[in-house]
Amino acid sequence: MKREMNDLKITLIAKEIEYGSQIDEAAFFYWIDKIEGILWKGVHDSIHIDIPSNQIEDGTLRELLALFYRYKIDSQQLTQFINDSNRSWVLNKHAYWYSGLMGL
């Protein structure tokens, strides 16, 4: 069976996350559990975030941008989800996530 591009599973990796406190760590896992359409698992000193497709909803991308920004996770991994329909808001140079997303 031929696989379409949007059938590709994507794994994002959050390495060595720094939490401000035990409650902050609990908040991270509470938040990530609330993001629809993703699964995660701990692997050594990182969290692997599995996305079932390279096509995700805008709301999911916004939550990932916020989560990655808040916990200083490499946001450049999220550039693979930029497409024609979200390009204008994702690449807004005034957005708080822009510099991290672009590696500036």
pLDDT band at 7 (very low <50, low <70, confident <90, very high): low
pLDDT of residue 8: 77
pLDDT above 70 coverage of the chain, percent: 93
Task: Calculate mean pLDDT across residues 51-56.
Answer: 88
- pLDDT tens profile 28-44: 999 999 999 899 999 99
Residue in the block written with tokens 């409650």 = 23
The DSSP letter of residue 38 is -
pLDDT of residue 2: 41
SS3 content of the chain, % helix, strand, coil (to 5): 45, 15, 40
Contact 39, 22 (CB under 8 A): no
